Structure 1
Amino acid sequence: MEKNQLLRNLPKIDELLKEEIVVNELSSTMRTIVVESLRETIDSYRDLILKDDIKEYSKEDILKSFLELLSDKKGSNFKKVINAAGVVIHTNLGRSLLAKKALENVINVADNFNNLEYDLKKGQRGSRYSHVEELIKKVTGAEAAVVVNNNAAAVMLALNTLCKDKEAIVSRGQLVEIGGSFRVPDVMTFSGAKLVEVGTTNRTHLYDYENNINENTGVLLKVHTSNFKILGFTEDVSVEELVEIGNKKDIPVIEDIGSGTLVDFSKYGFTYEPTVQESIRKGADVVTFSGDKMLGGPQAGIIIGKKKYIDKMKKNQLTRALRIDKMTLAALEGTLKYYLDESEAVKNIPTLHMILSSKEEHKKRAQRLKRKLQNKVNNFKFALEEDYSMVGGGSMPAERIETYVIKVKSDKFSPQELERKLRENETPIIIRVSNNEVVLDLRTIFDKDFDTIVDAFDALD
């Protein structure tokens, strides 16, 4: 059929709106979305005709395309994905998963009116931070706490409150770049603090700080480089040393822990990582850290420390702009309660459990998934092997966690093609390609998703 005739035969929107399939959709879907989907479908066919990509079509073809497009529009842009990549705190996949109690708390406050800023005992306006402050103090040993929407905001608020128009002294080797090209120096500058870099990339000494302190010094800042390690000829100044200078000069010490570790992972065979509690015990005046990394909770920036400094931050006008909402507070409270007993935290907080669970546990799970795959899928080869998972999220960069994986080979698809097809599955499956092999890492796969993975391979078989 000629191109012009194909274009003339395209049905009009009013005509399609009378089709039974479309009428049925209108009964359960907003008319705006239905009409928009029809219009985009027709536009798509017009473009294909003009490009000579199709030579014929039927009204049924158009309606089928319409239903596919409408299904996408009716769904959420947020999708559940299966993390088979073996990165526990995967920044691109939402970082830490919430624990059961945290989820229950979120549903409770989201589905009901609540006492977000209402003191039930006094019958008057209260503080939203009161719901978590005592809990944070109990878990960390700090005098006071306040919570904002992420750790970059926490650092900015702390510096803006204590160091606006003053100098913040920090080691040059700690001026890190975090995700999305955001850099600590830029955050500091935006806070109104003047950055004073001391030392070199690999070595900073106590005298580097001492020699740069003057009447305009506002804070001494230490940033934990949780997303990279410098090895070899290195030197760093400890928190205790900075606190000693700070006490002498009456200058507050801020430590940005970043990853928010509340558990001493060295007890479980991992490389030592400084904990939030240690920073407080060592005398840091203010400590900032994330809620959705090693802590295993929602996105949040938690600021703890001496009451006199935290109280100043609570009065800073920036605090209102950076404050967190009721659902984040509810999730944070539910997460922190597990930390009242470390064994409960390790068992119930998904991030901690995934990091600390044994490789033998995942070997048994890998065997079960492999059997399921082999029983249903014929044209792929599945091999069970030992491998390593990663913590991710800019935490423990040098740490590799022993695990078991299923390596997949196919004569039909290249590893890159298979990665794309699994990613485009109705429930996307995010894998890793290593040494030109497709790898499914059991440490970050849930048992409940085994059948979905099997069905995805079966559809490609």
Structure 2
Amino acid sequence: MNKKANLFSRLPKVDDIISFIEQEMNLLDEVPREVVVESIREEIDNLRIKIANGSLDTDGLNSKVEDLPILVSKRARKKVSYRLKRVINASGVVIHTNLGRSLIDNEVMENISEVVSNYSNLEFDLDTGKRGSRYSHLIDIITRVTGAEDALVVNNNAAAVMLVLSSLAKDKEVIVSRGELVEIGGSFRVPDVMEQSGAKLVDVGTTNKTHLWDYERALSEDTSAFLKVHTSNYRILGFTSEVKLDELVELGKKHSIPVVEDLGSGVLIDLSKYGLEYEPTVQDSMKAGVDIITFSGDKLLGGPQAGVIIGKKKLIDIMKKHPLNRAFRIDKFTIAALEATLRFYLDEDEAIRKIPTLRMITMPLEELERRGNELLNLLKGKLDDSFSVGLEDQYSQVGGGSMPLEQIPTKTITISSQEGKITKLENSLREYDIPVIARIYKDKMYLDLRTIKEEEFKTLVGAFEYAAERV
């Protein structure tokens, strides 16, 4: 018998491994038997591949067979674990698109739980005892906070823009500045959204300069709207000019053309009062006389994913009757979350204190330094002497396509080591039960205190203890 054949003959049988697991481990109490058997077969197949390519000798095979029950357990548990899971965001990007964007406050979650785990008046009018509208639960709070005549909510802001344009401008012309034809993420572009709505794009001006007369020259009998897009995810600096909102509104009134503004991120508080750059608020656009405004619910507003449409009631009534409204409608989870989040905005101080996104981006440096020193002490001794751990000044980002030039001073735990070890540490932190997502730059790891919740410190320490055994 040759060497490979001898190694193949030493591979354990599936029945032997499952028998050992039944007697020595509680895995079958947590994972279905068929998943465990499937995992055993896959691990044995991995050993066959290694034998076939010559990467295992007798001692190596014996060691791998010894570890087989543990490897099977890890594989089987991974198979039945949730794919969408909680992570710790240590990246310093507050509205992190890849990590779920804005966080929802615990008080909001209590409202969601109460509504969705019981029957609700989703489409039932408690006053009349007859069928009601699901949007009625949001109209009062949205109009009160924004000052709008009416409101409608769909599943995201791209859907909001599409519904608005399809309702008001299908087969007609919409005039927009060339400098505002942005890509909004995931390769979705404003011209593409407009095309799908059935509206005909008429772009005016140049990338860096657009004047009021550009809009006026482009007017025709087919013009149905002026569209202004807030370029929240980029800035053009230098030799630039754009038409002010109030000027475009006046032009719209002069020619009886509605002005539609896509604000992108729904800012309801002037954040410049908290040391951040000024970002146009929804209320500012409303006061300027814009006819229809759309914005996201899950960016700077700090709520669930949603697209909010506010403005003139006569125009929104048209959208409510449009077939796309049914396709884009929101469910009870979103309604419960958005209503509870918007209620915080009745008191600005409460909104800053309770909405996680706002709380994080306005958190003072002194508080971050206090937290940084606390976490630094907790992490001491968790890594060996080949790692250097300290506390440094850095910058956080708002993220989510909002405030692209804003850098917020922050405090970070920094970890450096010899070549290659930081990569292994980062990989191990991502493998932990609650993965840790850190920032790596030039072989240095940064853990930003602005996006790490204080109650996550204990979990973070556990993640480093886990990772320390694997680097």
DSSP-derived class of the 2:176 partner = strand
Structure 1 residues 107 and 455, CA gap change in structure 2 (3 angstroms): same
CA drift of 1:284 comes to: 0.7
Say whether the 8 Å CA contact 1:151–1:302 is kept in structure 2.
yes
DSSP-derived class of the 1:310 partner = helix
Structure 1 residues 237 and 328, CA gap change in structure 2 (3 angstroms): same
Q: Deviations over 1:149-204 (max 9, x none)?
A: 11111111111111111111100000111221111111111111111111000000
Q: Distance in 1 between matches of 2:132 and 2:6?
A: 70
Say whether the 8 Å CA contact 2:425–2:467 is kept in structure 1.
no
The aligned counterpart of 1:86 is 92
The aligned counterpart of 2:147 is 141
Amino acid at match of 2:379: L
Q: Distance in 1 between matches of 2:37 and 2:168?
A: 55
Say whether the 8 Å CA contact 2:164–2:319 is kept in structure 1.
yes
Amino acid at match of 2:457: F
CA drift of 1:38 comes to: 3.1
Q: Distance in 1 between matches of 2:104 and 2:139?
A: 20
The aligned counterpart of 1:183 is 189
Structure 1 residues 128 and 31, CA gap change in structure 2 (3 angstroms): farther
The aligned counterpart of 1:213 is 219
Select between 27-36 and 282-291 the one with higher mean Cα deviation: 27-36
Say whether the 8 Å CA contact 2:31–2:76 is kept in structure 1.
no
The equivalent position to 1:357 in structure 2, one of 360, 363, 378, is 363
- Divergent runs of 4+, >6 A: none
The aligned counterpart of 2:345 is 339
Q: Distance in 2 between matches of 1:297 and 1:384?
A: 32
The aligned counterpart of 1:222 is 228
Asked whether 1:2 is paired with 2:7, we answer no
The aligned counterpart of 2:305 is 299
The aligned counterpart of 1:47 is 49
Say whether the 8 Å CA contact 1:422–1:430 is kept in structure 2.
yes
Q: Distance in 2 between matches of 1:39 and 1:250?
A: 71
Q: Distance in 2 between matches of 1:368 and 1:359?
A: 14
Q: Distance in 2 between matches of 1:196 and 1:31?
A: 62
The aligned counterpart of 1:382 is 389
Amino acid at match of 2:463: A
CA drift of 1:415 comes to: 3.6
DSSP-derived class of the 1:211 partner = helix
Say whether the 8 Å CA contact 1:99–1:334 is kept in structure 2.
no
Structure 1 residues 40 and 118, CA gap change in structure 2 (3 angstroms): farther
CA drift of 1:28 comes to: 4.1
The aligned counterpart of 1:449 is 456
CA drift of 1:432 comes to: 1.2
Say whether the 8 Å CA contact 1:377–1:454 is kept in structure 2.
no
The aligned counterpart of 1:419 is 426
CA drift of 1:397 comes to: 0.6
Structure 1 residues 417 and 62, CA gap change in structure 2 (3 angstroms): closer
The equivalent position to 1:397 in structure 2, one of 398, 404, 418, is 404
DSSP-derived class of the 1:302 partner = strand
What is the count of residue pairs matched by the alignment? 461
DSSP-derived class of the 2:280 partner = coil
Q: Deviations over 1:51-90 (max 9, x none)?
A: 3333324654332221111111121101211111111111
The equivalent position to 2:413 in structure 1, one of 392, 395, 406, is 406
CA drift of 1:19 comes to: 4.1
DSSP-derived class of the 1:398 partner = coil
Structure 1 residues 459 and 25, CA gap change in structure 2 (3 angstroms): closer
The aligned counterpart of 1:266 is 272
Say whether the 8 Å CA contact 2:428–2:466 is kept in structure 1.
no
Q: Distance in 2 between matches of 1:126 and 1:288?
A: 24
Say whether the 8 Å CA contact 2:174–2:223 is kept in structure 1.
yes
Asked whether 1:242 is paired with 2:242, we answer no
CA RMSD of aligned residues (A): 2.0
DSSP-derived class of the 2:450 partner = helix
Say whether the 8 Å CA contact 2:429–2:467 is kept in structure 1.
no
Q: Deviations over 1:118-148 (max 9, x none)?
A: 1122222211111111111111111111111
Q: Distance in 2 between matches of 1:390 and 1:340?
A: 27
Say whether the 8 Å CA contact 1:168–1:220 is kept in structure 2.
yes
The aligned counterpart of 1:167 is 173
CA drift of 1:29 comes to: 3.2
